[in-house]
Chain A
Amino acid sequence: MPEPDVDILLVEDSPEDAELTLHALRKDNLANRIFWARDGEEALDFLFCRGAHSGRSFQHSPKVVLLDLKLPKVDGLEVLRLLKSDPRTKAIPVVILTSSREESDVVRGYRNGANSFVQKPVDFDQFREAVRQLGLYWLVTNEPPREAAFFRS
């Protein structure tokens, strides 16, 4: 059974954070096509179209992945590394969205190919604003490569 297209893959283990993020996105009507993966393994299954997501196709990759770093099973940096080292998923933009502001996390994130690093502010207003801007930028402003063109080259 083919799955519906997804714009945003949210990788987040905390249901509270997930709910707040979804709430923020929904406010700007950006949350319609979101898939929420609760751990790294599920995210990888989704992205690599395997396991429960074997029905998906690489042709319909998400427009952006919002990735938390501290995740059960496979942690965020590992997900990032696998994603960015595979030509089929390499082009998918990844935004690290995390509570951590540790310099080492930032450095490792960018070293593994993250496209952006955003710390979740404690203040909900700021948080909401950050999520809104991310959604607008990656879903509206950013121009992704067309899959066919990307794979050809």
Chain B
Amino acid sequence: MKKYIKGLVPLGLGLSLALGAGLALLSFRSLAEQTEAADWVSHTHLVLERLETLRAEVLKAENARRGFVLTADARFLERFSAARTEILKTAGELRLLTADNDSQQKRLEAVQTLIEKRIQMLEQSIAGIQAGGRISAEPAAPTLAGAELTAQISDAIRAMESAEKDLLRQRGAALKQGARRTQTLLAGGTLVTLALILGVFALLRREIGERTRAEEELNRFFNVSADMMCVAGTDGYFKRLNPAWQKLLGYTVAELLARPYLDFVHPDDLASTQAAAQTASVSGLISFENRYRTKQGAYRWLNWNTSPDQPRGLLYAAARDVTESKAAAESLRLLNEELQGRARRLETANRELEAFSSSVSHDLRAPLRHIDGFSRILMEEHAGQLSPEGRRLLERVRQGSQHMGELVDDLLNLSRVSRRELSPLVTDLNTVAAQVIADLQTACQCRRVEFRVGRLPFVECDPGLIRQVFSNLLANAVKFTRPRDSAIIEIGQTDRDGHRVIFVRDNGVGFSMKYAEKLFGVFQRLHRPEDFEGTGVGLVTSQRIIQKHNGRIWAEAEVDQGATFYFTLEGLDRAAPASPASASGEAHART
């Protein structure tokens, strides 16, 4: 729209100028025509007057001849001669005057021929009188032929007169028409020109209005901007500042305008600011940062964007207070550094842990093996030299060393599990449970244990680790149902708090919920070792594995009423409801 208007203004102006010029030309031409017309009128009058003279002179010549005939006075001859000269002269003038008109020339020729004939006639009459006195044939009154000739002359002259008058009339009409047309054109042209000028004026007014509005808009932005905006001169002074300056730095605008802007810059940033101003005055500058002193003496970090006006030696610039974000970035950097340091330390700790467990594995097991090995050899090869009490004590030594071997193995397993990266696979929990149950059944063949396995889902998990969980929970269930004549161990899935959970339930000795918290502590045991053997590491390991799967494990139990262990896995909620393998119903296993 704006562009359109911008194009219209010069177009309108150009048109009105052209029209004005056209009108002037038209006026000029019209004036010239008028003048010409006036010339033509006087020309016609001249012709008419000369024709009148011609007629008069012919009459004069006739009168002179008659006078001479009547009086024979020589003065009449002079008059005749004068009239004849005048006729020739006037005829010559008329020839010149009508030179542009062929028909008038022809008529003039006819007039002249007639006049010459008449003059000849008159001259003959005069000559006759001079030669022989009075001639009767030539009386003082004109002869019939002479009178006829005179009438013809008069007619011919009248014809010329009327032709000339016609011409005048025609010219007058044409002139009038031309003048009327010119008037119309002039009036129309003037009107159009006026309209154009008015249109252009309206456009300009609108344009100016818009510009004023735009300027006002920019001014409003300039005044409300939270960023600091300024116009700076190459002389090192601010020329114009927006109110944000006062708000952010505390100085009044007048104070800021009064001193070179470098006075407000941090001493350490002076050189870089000068260099930046130099660059900025030639090409634009983006994201230059320096510090400005506030009235209170603190410093604020400003981030500058500039645009130069080289011809006028001005620099348009906007600055943003980035003190806070810089501080935030700095603290983020420090935090990151600290985090990286921690990560490094953690990595080191992990490596140390690995080295430690490796050495535990190697160094702690060796002496245990030796104790067991040598006491065994002692028992086998030197039993005869030992008393029964001695043999019993030796057996206790072996038991102790074996238990410690289990402890070391379990601890190592826990540390391995903790360090291990998950290798998740979609796993059929039914298969896992079935394998674990099969292993346990071989281990406790002498007992009556009924496994009731519900439908279990397919879950994305680390099968090796989840197998350990099943193995641990089921082994516990088998262990703590030992006093029962008929042990029943259930495995299945159910919903708790909107999450799918797997449970392992037994009808064993259970435990008091008072101690439930201790269940998942390393070496924590809720039963006496002489009742139920164990290291107290199994459940911790299971918990570690479940946590690695972003799940949760907990237990519900009552003394002598059995215990139920529940666990969730991250993949459980989106798992397939049940594996097809067990879709036919619950799998029962009995030992």
Contact = CB atoms under 8 A, between A and B. Distances in A.
Interface stretch (A51-59, A79-87, A118-126): A118-126
Which of A16, A99, A122, A124 gathers the greatest number of chain B CB atoms within 10 Å? A122
Contact of B366 (A16, A101, A124, A125): A16
Interface in B347-364: 354, 357-358, 361-363
B405 A123 contact: yes
Interface string A114-153: 0000001111110100000000000000000000000000
23 contacts: A16-B373, A20-B369, A20-B373, A20-B374, A23-B373, A23-B377, A70-B362, A98-B362, A99-B361, A99-B363, A99-B365, A100-B358, A100-B361, A101-B361, A102-B358, A105-B358, A122-B401, A122-B402, A122-B408, A124-B369, A124-B375, A124-B377, A127-B369
Given A103-B416, A125-B376, A17 B362 contact: no
B368 interface: yes
Contacts of B416: 103
A122 B412 contact: no
Contacts of B366: 14, 16-17, 99, 120
A62 to B, nearest CB: 24
B369 A121 contact: yes
Query: Top 5 nearest A-B pairs by Cβ distance?
Result: A122-B405, A124-B373, A16-B370, A124-B376, A20-B373
B227 interface: no
Contacts of B372: 122-124, 127
A109 B375 CA distance: 31
A127 B409 CA distance: 15
A101 B362 CA distance: 8
Nearest to B355: A102
A77 B562 CA distance: 50
A149 B370 CA distance: 42
| Interface residue tally on B, bucketed by range | 20 to 34
Nearest to B357: A102
Which of B369, B402, B405, B416 gathers the greatest number of chain A CB atoms within 10 Å? B369
A99 B377 contact: no
A124 B119 CA distance: 183
Nearest to A105: B358
Nearest to B370: A16
| Interface residue tally on A, bucketed by range | 20 to 34
Given A122-B402, A123-B402, A17 B358 contact: no
Interface of B: 354, 357-358, 361-363, 365-370, 372-377, 401-402, 405, 408-409, 412, 416
Nearest to A69: B362
A102 B408 CA distance: 13
A101 B373 contact: no
Interface in A70-104: 70, 98-104
A125 B380 CA distance: 11
A17 B402 CA distance: 16
Contact of B368 (A14, A103, A122): A122
A124 to B, nearest CB: 4
A17 B370 contact: yes
A127 B373 contact: yes
Contacts of A105: 358
B545 to A, nearest CB: 16
B179 to A, nearest CB: 119
B200 to A, nearest CB: 91
A23 B369 CA distance: 14
A97 B374 CA distance: 19
A48 to B, nearest CB: 27
A144 B97 CA distance: 153
Which of B358, B374, B416 gathers the greatest number of chain A CB atoms within 10 Å? B358
Contacts of A14: 366, 370
A122 B358 contact: no
Contacts of A16: 366-367, 370, 373-374
Contacts of B357: 102
A122 B409 CA distance: 10
Which of B365, B368, B374, B408 gathers the greatest number of chain A CB atoms within 10 Å? B365
A28 to B, nearest CB: 15
Interface in A1-57: 14, 16-17, 20, 23
B465 to A, nearest CB: 14
Contacts of A100: 358, 361-362
B404 to A, nearest CB: 8
Contacts of A20: 369-370, 373-374, 377
B502 to A, nearest CB: 27
Contacts of A124: 369, 372-373, 375-377
Contacts of B401: 122
Contacts of A98: 362
A96 to B, nearest CB: 12
A16 B365 CA distance: 12
A39 to B, nearest CB: 16
Nearest to B377: A23
B369 A17 contact: yes
Which of A70, A124, A125 gathers the greatest number of chain B CB atoms within 10 Å? A124
A122 B365 contact: yes
B368 to A, nearest CB: 5
B557 to A, nearest CB: 32
A35 B369 CA distance: 22
Which of B354, B372, B374, B401 gathers the greatest number of chain A CB atoms within 10 Å? B372
A123 B402 CA distance: 6
A120 B369 contact: yes
A104 B374 CA distance: 30
Which of A70, A99, A102, A104 gathers the greatest number of chain B CB atoms within 10 Å? A99
Nearest to A70: B362
B414 to A, nearest CB: 13
Contacts of B408: 122
